[in-house]
Amino acid sequence: MSITQNIEEIRGRMAQAAVRSGRKPEDVLLIAVTKLHEPGEIEEAIAAGVTDIAENKVQEIQKKFDQIHSPVNWHLIGHLQTNKVKYIIDKVVMIHSVDSVHLAQEIDKRAAAAGKTMDVLLQVNAAHEESKFGLDPKDVPQVFREILDSCPNVKIRGLMHIAPWSEDPEEIRPYFKEVKDLFDTLAAVEHPNADFKYLSMGMSHDFETAIEEGANIIRVGTSIFGERDYSKKMGGM
Ligand SMILES: *Cc1c(COP(=O)(O)O)cnc(C)c1O
C-alpha cells in the first residue's frame, strides 16, 4: 500500500475508535512520525492531508526543516538535552518530551529570547520502564507546579505517554487510563501557563486503545511509512 492509502486506512480506524470513546473523528489529531524517512515520503504524507509531523531527534529536525517546502507543523517527541533546545526553539510548535524542571527552564529562557511562548507536554512514564524517559506519575504534580511557577514563557498543554510494547492491548490499557486520570486532575488546575488540551498517546500498534482511553493526539510512524531502516541512522545525537 502507498503512504496515501495507509493514511486513509489509519484515519478510518481513528474515526471508529473516536466514536467508540464518545468523540468525533476530528477530535483526534494524527501526527506523522517521520524519523528516518526521506523528504519525498514526508511530502507525500502532507499531500494526503497530514498537517503535523514529528521527529525524535533535534539533528533530524535541523536537517529536514528546510527540505520540506509544504506548510506543516513540526513537533519534537524524543528526549531533549538542554544544550540542544536552542536549535529547535524557532522550529517546533510543541515539545512533547519535557521531563524535568531544569529542561523547562532552559526552554523558558530560549523562548523568552525568541520572543515567544513554547507549548509543551510533560512526558509520563506510567509503566516505570527503565529504557524510557519520562516522569514517574507520582512526581508529575510537583514538577507541573514548579514549571508553572518558574517558566513564564512555557505553556503546559497536556501530557505525553509511550506505552510498553505489547501484543495484547488489554495489557497496556491500564497505563492509558492512569495517564488520562492524571490529565483530568491537572486539567482542573487554573493557572495562566496551564492550558490543558492535549493527551499525546498511541503509536502504530496501540493507537486505537489509546484513543478509546482518551488520547487526542496519536503519533504514528510505521503504519504510515513502513518499517524504519535503522542502518540509515546517523551517529552522534
Ligand atoms: C518512533 C516514535 C513513534 C512512532 O512509532 P511507530 O511505532 O513507528 O508508530 C511515536 N512516538 C515516539 C516518541 C517515537 O519515538
CA 196 – ligand 1 centroid, Å: 22
Q: Please report, for residues 11, 42, 224, the alpha-carbon distance to residue 7 in angstroms, rounded to integers and kept in the order given.
A: 6, 12, 6
Superfamily designation of domain 3-227: Alanine racemase (3.20.20.10)
C-alpha span between 4 and 190 (Å, rounded): 41
Residue with CA at minimum distance from ligand 1 atom 12? 77
- Say how many Å lie between the CA of residue 184 and the centre of ligand 1: 24
Can you give the pLDDT at residue 76? 98
Q: Indicate which atom in ligand 1 lies nearest the CA of residue 78.
A: 13
Which residues does residue 198 pair with via DSSP β-bridges, in sequence order?
158
CB–CB of 26/213 below 8 Å? no
Residue nearest to ligand 1 atom 11, measured at CA: 219
Ligand 1: list residues with CB < 6 Å.
33, 35, 56, 77-78, 162, 203-204, 219-223
Tally the residues of the chain: 237
User: How far apart are the C-alpha atoms of 222 and 6, rounded to whole Å?
Assistant: 10
CA of 222 to the centre of ligand 1 (A): 8
Predicted confidence at residue 230, as pLDDT, reads 85
Q: What is the pLDDT at residue 237?
A: 44
Residue 26: phi and psi, rounded to 5, are -75, -5
Distance in Å, CA 203 to ligand 1 centroid: 6
Tens digit of pLDDT at every position of the chain (237 positions):
899 999 999 999 999 999 999 999 999 999 999 999 999 999 999 999 999 999 999 999 999 999 999 999 999 999 999 999 999 999 999 999 999 999 999 999 999 999 999 999 999 999 999 999 999 999 999 999 999 999 999 999 999 999 999 999 999 999 999 999 999 999 999 999 999 999 999 999 999 999 999 999 999 999 999 998 888 765 444
Q: What is the pLDDT of residue 234?
A: 54
Q: How far apart are CA 196 and CA 188, in angstroms?
A: 8
Q: Closest ligand 1 atom to the C-alpha of 207? A: 9
| Residue 41 near residue 63 (C-beta atoms within 8 A) | no
